Amino acid sequence: MNDEQLLRYSRHLLLEEIDVLGQEKLLASHVLVIGCGGLGSAAAPYLVAAGIGKITLIDHDQVELTNLQRQIMYSQDSVGKSKALSAKTFLETLNPNIQIHAIAAKAEQALLDELLPSVDIVLDCTDNFSTRQFINACCVAHQTPLVSGSALGFDGQLTVFDPRQSSSPCYACIFSPEEQFEEVNCSSMGIFSPLVGIIGAMQAAQCLQLLIGFGAPLVGRLLLWNARSTQIDEIKLSRNPDCPVCGKAH
């Protein structure tokens, strides 16, 4: 690290769990953030501020006026513009020394197969069940850790799937891709503005923990946040040996 970096990240360097070695790991890392909505708007700025060396953003949507209630990377002037490209512009003002690659497209098979070999961790900040299943399958295939967050109404969820660990479940172990779920979204159910900030920031925290290698990330544990009661619950998760994605037969 140069003198400017030593000063910029000095509060990290004072933490024994991070120190110079941990910060250098962050600077050498590549993180993929899929979804630049509410969760991504909270997670990406913390990753950039913390010094992740390279961040790739994927989102095919444009900013809408209704997004501004919670998606803090955007302003009134962003309405109608690409979320991914607008996010890149915002993030570059936070830390101009970080490489930020914005892809204004859907996260499709060919794209993820091209990106994941060079990615250290994926953050799933999407809000669609089928997309989550697809991202999970790609991460299992490429043995890439996945930090999964979700938020709707007043309820948030957070967990980590790490296919490098034999005991870690994957998303399909918990939510079978063969089941039919009724899709719900913010436009029909509503969402408490700070909730996505809380879950998204925790996604960033899990990502930093995994990259540096300290503490106990949420592998095999599902954290539930209830914003009505400010209550946190935790559910233990187990790998499904018959999982159609990560099971023995696959």
pLDDT above 70 as % of the chain: 96
Question: How would residue 236 be classed by pLDDT, with cut points 50, 70 and 90?
Answer: very high
Q: What is the pLDDT of residues 214-229, one digit of tens each?
A: 999 999 999 999 999 9
Residue 44 token pair: 């990406």
124 to 6, 24, 168: CA distances (angstroms): 30, 24, 17
197 lies in some domain: yes
Give me the pLDDT at residue 241, please.
93
Give me the pLDDT at residue 174, please.
93
Whether the CB-CB separation of 51 and 79 falls below 8 Å is answered with: no
71 lies in some domain: yes
250 lies in some domain: no
The whole-angstrom separation of Cα 112 and Cα 92 is 23
151 lies in some domain: yes
- For residue 14, pLDDT beyond 60: yes
Length of the chain: 250
Give me the pLDDT at residue 184, please.
60
Give me the pLDDT at residue 177, please.
86
The whole-angstrom separation of Cα 150 and Cα 200 is 9
Exposed/middle/buried for residue 111 (C-beta within 10 Å: 0-12, 13-18, 19+): middle
Tally of domains within the chain: 1
86 lies in some domain: yes
Q: Which residue has the higher pLDDT, 7 or 182?
A: 7
Using alpha carbons, select from 83, 11, 91 the residue that is nearest to residue 49.
Answer: 91
Q: What is the pTM of this model?
A: 0.94
Give me the pLDDT at residue 240, please.
94
- For residue 51, pLDDT beyond 60: yes
Expressed as residue numbers, the domain containing 170 is: 3-236
Q: What is the mean pLDDT of residues 40-65?
A: 97
Residue 9: phi and psi, rounded to 5, are -105, 20
Q: What is the mean pLDDT of residues 102-108?
A: 95
Whether the CB-CB separation of 10 and 32 falls below 8 Å is answered with: no
The whole-angstrom separation of Cα 199 and Cα 125 is 10
Residue 3 token pair: 């003198």
Residue 231 token pair: 């209550």
The whole-angstrom separation of Cα 95 and Cα 27 is 12
Name 224's bridge partners: 157, 233
Give me the pLDDT at residue 182, please.
63
Helix (H, G, I), strand (E, B) or coil at 7: helix
247 lies in some domain: no
Give me the pLDDT at residue 248, please.
76
242 lies in some domain: no
Give me the pLDDT at residue 176, please.
87
H/E stretch holding 135 reads: helix 129-142
Q: What is the pLDDT of residues 161-206, one digit of tens each?
A: 999 999 999 999 999 888 766 666 656 679 999 999 999 999 999 9
Helix (H, G, I), strand (E, B) or coil at 220: coil
Residue 42 token pair: 């909270």
Q: What is the CATH number of the domain that holds 36?
A: 3.40.50.720
Sheet holding 99-103, edge to edge: 99-103, 54-58, 30-34, 121-124, 146-152, 155-161, 221-226, 231-236
Q: How many other CB atoms are found less than 10 A from the CB of residue 228?
A: 9
Give me the pLDDT at residue 97, please.
94
Give me the pLDDT at residue 189, please.
77
249 lies in some domain: no
- For residue 242, pLDDT beyond 80: yes
